[in-house]
A and B are shown apart, each in its own frame.
Chain A
Amino acid sequence: DGGITQSPKYLFRKEGQNVTLSCEQNLNHDAMYWYRQDPGQGLRLIYYSQIVNDFQKGDIAEGYSVSREKKESFPLTVTSAQKNPTAFYLCASSLSTDTQYFGPGTRLTVL
């Protein structure tokens, strides 16, 4: 099946720890994106990558880091510098000339 997968679905972390969220797509999409969603809010862009080995900061990049070593994968690391990391994290991908399609999301809770 083609699609975007995110793992895990639920993630718990102790305060002060870094944690990495996985996003994989087998759609052969060029671009990948990470969004953060807080309860009752819209989506805010964290980082995006339009091509392998290149990525740009979105609107709320502070406290996050990414890598794009493979076309299929765009992992997001939530660092201890992120002041309020508890949120729902959504990954998306697109062809360079097409609309974005979203994964199922990872809910991160900091204990």
Chain B
Amino acid sequence: GQQLNQSPQSMFIQEGEDVSMNCTSSSIFNTWLWYKQDPGEGPVLLIALYKAGELTSNGRLTAQFGITRKDSFLNISASIPSDVGIYFCAGQLAAGNKLTFGGGTRVLVKP
């Protein structure tokens, strides 16, 4: 079956830094989604991408749908403490199909 590899698994941020994470697949998807999950809560949709090559922003977040349809990237600019959480990518073959999730990137604050 399809698998999504998300990296890095975890990262430490310092306020003001830019953060990048990515997701790669063994096969193509036609939709890429990025979610953020706070501890003990459900994931919240951040950005949805529907077209290969698409670059979409949501405030300080920018995500790209890879041209090969097998990868996606999420960037957070000028990080702030509330950016801490777990970020998940998810791929979908077609609308209404089930999602395949990556393992998540845990964003933590540098001590």
A interface, CB within 8 angstroms of B: 4, 6, 31, 33, 40-45, 48, 50, 58-59, 88, 90, 92, 94, 96-105, 107
Contact = CB atoms under 8 A, between A and B. Distances in A.
A37 to B, nearest CB: 9
A43 B98 contact: no
B103 A41 contact: yes
Closest 8 CB pairs of A and B: A102-B42, A97-B95, A42-B101, A42-B103, A43-B101, A96-B96, A102-B43, A105-B42
Contacts of A98: 95
A48 B98 contact: yes
Nearest to B88: A42
B96 A97 contact: yes
A99 B50 CA distance: 11
Contact of B45 (A45, A50, A101): A101
B74 interface: no
Candidate in B41, B43, B45, B104 with the most chain A CB atoms within 10 angstroms: B43
B80 interface: no
B31 interface: yes
A55 to B, nearest CB: 12
A99 B98 contact: no
Contact of B96 (A4, A41, A50, A104): A50
B28 to A, nearest CB: 18
Contacts of A59: 1
A96 B97 CA distance: 9
